[in-house]
Amino acid sequence: MSGLYVGLNTIDLQFLVASYPLENSKVKASNNAIATGGPATNAALVHSWLGGEAVLCSPIGEHAMKEFIWQDLTQYNIHVIDPVYGQKCDPVFASIITAQDTAHRTIYSYHPAFKSTRFHLPENLFSRHYQSVLTDGFYLPLLKQMLNNKLSYEKLILDGGSWKEGMEEILDYVDIAICSNHFYPPGCNDTNEVIRYLQSFKINQVIITRGDEPVLWHSGSQLTEIEIHKVNAVDTLGAGDFFHGAFCYFYNETNQIDLSVTKAAEIAALSCKHFGTREWLVEEISRINI
C-alpha cells in the first residue's frame, strides 16, 4: 500500500514526569526518549510498520543531527526524499513533557525560519503512482511544487491538526480531510462552520477526531459517529499522527472510510498505552489484526 507523506520532521526530546511541573521548579523525570517526530513523519512510520510502502518527503538538509534523523527513519523502512539535500538547514527541535497523572503531553517546539525555496525533487518521485498522499500543512510550497509537476496519486489527504497559514491554497486538491477538534480555519468557531468551510472547497469527506470521543464522519450531508476503543492512556504523544498514517494504510487497502477510521483509532489507542512513540511499535504489533 503506497503512501507519500509530505511535511514536517522534528527531533523530539521527551520526558515523563509525575505531574506537570510548577513554574521555576526542578523536576526529575522517571523516563525519557529521543526520536524523530512530526506529523508527516509519525504517519509514515506507522504506515511502514503496518507493512505498507511509505515515502516521506521532508526537508532535512545539512546539520549536526542529520545522520541521527536518517538512521532513525531508514531503520523503519521509510524511503526518505530530502528536497533540500546538501543545503545548510537548521533542524526542528521539540521538547515534550508527558504528565503521568493525566497522560497528556505538552510540546515546546522551535521552528527556525526556513529560507530555502530551492526544492530538488528526483524524477522517480513523479514517475510512479501513489495510492495516497498526506500533507500535514507544513512546507506548503513544497507540496504545491509537487502538484504543479503532475504528481500521480489517487487521493490527497489533509492532516488538519491545526490551521496553517496558506492552507487554503491547497484545499482545492484535497479529497479527504482528517481534522482534530482544534482545527479552525479563518472565521470558523465550531464544528459545523469547519464542515461548511471545507465543503466550500468541494471536500465532501471530512473526518473529525475528538480524543477519546467518537469520531465524526461527514460524507456530503450525512453524519456518522464511529465509536472508538478506549484504553487507560499513559502518553498521547503522536496518537493523532498515528491515526492518520494508519487511516491511509487501511484506506488504501479497503477503500472503506468507516472501517479505516475504526482500524486507525485502534492503532492510535494502542500507542497511548506506552510512553513515547517507539516502545509501542514493539509491544503491540502482535495485537494488530491486519
- For 134, what's the count of Cα atoms within 13 Å in the CB-facing half-sphere? 34
pLDDT tens for each residue of 172-200: 999 999 999 999 999 999 999 999 999 99
Enclosing H/E stretch for 9: none
Residue 42 has pLDDT above 70, yes or no: yes
Average pLDDT over residues 15-43: 95
Confidence of residue 116 (pLDDT cuts 50, 70, 90): low
Query: What structural domains does the chain harbor?
Result: 2-7+38-90+113-287 (3.40.1190.20)
Q: Residue 290 pLDDT more than 90?
A: no
pLDDT value at residue 211 = 87
User: What dihedral angle (degrees, nearest 10) is formed by the CA atoms of 12, 42, 73, 108?
Assistant: -10
CA gap 159, 154 in Å, rounded: 16
Quote the pLDDT of residue 259.
96
How much is the average pLDDT of 217-223? 93
Do you know the residue count of the chain? Answer: 290
- Give dist(CA 229, CA 51) in Å, integer: 22
Q: Which residues contact 217 (CB under 8 A, 6 or more apart)?
A: 205, 206, 207, 208, 223, 224, 225, 226, 257, 258, 261
φ, ψ for residue 128, nearest 5 deg? -120, 170
Q: What is the pLDDT of residues 232-280, one digit of tens each?
A: 999 999 999 999 999 999 999 999 999 999 999 999 999 999 999 999 9
pLDDT at 68 (0 to 100): 97
Structure letter (DSSP) for residue 30: S
Residue 22 makes CB contacts below 8 A (sequence gap 6+) with none
Q: How confident is the model at residue 133 (pLDDT cuts 50, 70, 90)?
A: very high
Q: Note if the pTM is more than 0.75.
A: yes
pLDDT at 157: 98
Phi-psi sector, 48: left (phi>0), alpha (psi -120 to 50), beta: alpha
